[in-house]
């Protein structure tokens, strides 16, 4: 599409406004952390739902709800207090390639993180404050998360931007935790990372729309593409570039055959 800067700004704003509202929640994995009100519950439920977020959204939501039920609908209390026998019951949980042994490790790692490392926000924030870098934030988190004895196979469930991964699910989780625009979708419960530093979650849907709009030239949906796309989105809103994730993803999911795109 050949749009002027103003036309593209108007389109992005229109679509972001249209999708960034509470109606978005029900059919999106963000509905899982919205089941809770306690900060720690929201963080843990959010990270688990984001981790499971590949495949059909209905299935993602159903499997995430199943996992919350298995954790007695109290994820923070569960990771702190569940007995070894109780956590062993998660060995039968499966979502695509996320197996029970992966699930059990996640619970163990969360327990160590909240007991000895100040929680999820503290770890992500520590990496971010190195140079206000989301890449460093994710890298620091992976270092801590996998510092306990684990199976190598489990590492693939937390993407690594240092190897070029777009890290879509972690960037999406960070959007959920950091953005606070009073629209009722994202939570804005983390105050130590700036929304202006966030990077746009990039997947097949948002990437296709971004290329149609001339916001992304790189052909591969990798970390370089994430940085390129976000840099272009900052031209339209430098303080909150990832609000346009709603425009790109929402359009990609719901309007991909639209003649206007």
Q: Quick check: 123 and 140 in contact, CB under 8 A?
A: yes
pLDDT for 2 equals 82
Q: Quick check: 247 and 15 in contact, CB under 8 A?
A: yes
Q: Could you tell me how far CA 30 lies from the centroid of its own chain?
A: 9
Closest listed residue to residue 261, CA positions, set 241, 242, 246, 247: 247
- In the chain, where are the structural domains located? 5-254
Sign of the dihedral defined by the CA atoms of residues 183, 168, 232, 250, in that order: negative
Q: Quick check: 201 and 172 in contact, CB under 8 A?
A: yes
pTM above 0.85, yes or no: yes
Q: Quick check: 243 and 20 in contact, CB under 8 A?
A: yes
pLDDT for 259 equals 43
Closest listed residue to residue 241, CA positions, set 136, 134, 114, 162: 134
Specify the residue for token string 């036309």: 7
pLDDT for 246 equals 97
Q: Quick check: 242 and 19 in contact, CB under 8 A?
A: no
- Which tens digits make up the pLDDT trace of 157-212? 999 999 999 999 999 999 999 999 999 999 999 999 999 999 999 999 999 999 99
Exposed, middle or buried: residue 55 (CB in 10 Å: 0-12, 13-18, 19+)?
Answer: exposed
Tell me phi and psi for residue 240, to 5 degrees.
-150, 60
Q: How many CA atoms lie within 13 A of 45 on its CB side?
A: 29
Where residue 186 falls (left for φ over 0; alpha for ψ -120 to 50; beta otherwise) is beta
Q: Quick check: 52 and 70 in contact, CB under 8 A?
A: no
- Which tens digits make up the pLDDT trace of 25-75? 999 999 999 999 999 999 999 999 999 999 899 999 999 999 999 999 999
For the chain, counts of helices (H) and of strands (E): 12, 0
Q: Which residues pair with 98 in a beta bridge?
A: 95
| Alpha-carbon radius of gyration of the chain | 18
Cβ within 8 Å of residue 178, ≥6 positions away: 186, 188, 190, 193, 194, 195, 198
pLDDT for 260 equals 57
- Which tens digits make up the pLDDT trace of 68-108? 999 999 999 999 998 888 889 999 999 999 999 999 999 99
């Amino acid at each position: 599409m050949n749009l002027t800067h103003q036309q593209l700004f108007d389109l992005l704003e229109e679509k972001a406004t249209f999708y960034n509202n509470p109606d978005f929640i029900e059919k999106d994995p963000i509905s899982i952390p919205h089941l809770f009100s306690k900060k720690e519950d929201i963080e843990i439920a959010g990270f688990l739902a984001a981790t499971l977020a590949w495949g059909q959204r209905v299935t993602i939501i159903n499997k995430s709800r199943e996992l919350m039920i298995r954790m007695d609908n109290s994820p923070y209390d569960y990771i702190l207090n569940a007995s070894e026998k109780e956590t062993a019951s998660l060995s039968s949980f499966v979502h695509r390639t996320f197996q029970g042994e992966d699930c059990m490790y996640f619970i163990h790692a969360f327990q160590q993180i909240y007991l000895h490392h100040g929680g999820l926000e503290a770890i992500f924030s520590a990496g971010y404050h190195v140079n206000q870098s989301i890449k460093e934030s994710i890298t620091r988190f992976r270092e801590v998360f996998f510092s306990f004895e684990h199976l190598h196979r489990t590492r693939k469930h937390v993407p690594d931007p240092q190897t070029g991964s777009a890290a879509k699910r972690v960037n999406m989780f960070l959007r959920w935790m950091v953005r606070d625009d009073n629209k009722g979708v994202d939570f804005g419960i983390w105050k130590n990372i700036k929304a202006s530093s966030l990077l746009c979650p990039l997947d097949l849907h948002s990437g296709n729309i971004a290329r149609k709009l001339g916001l992304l030239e790189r052909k591969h949906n990798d970390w370089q593409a994430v940085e390129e796309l976000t840099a272009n989105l900052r031209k339209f809103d430098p303080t909150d570039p990832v609000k346009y994730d709603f425009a790109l993803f929402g359009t990609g999911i719901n309007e991909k055959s639209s003649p206007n795109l």
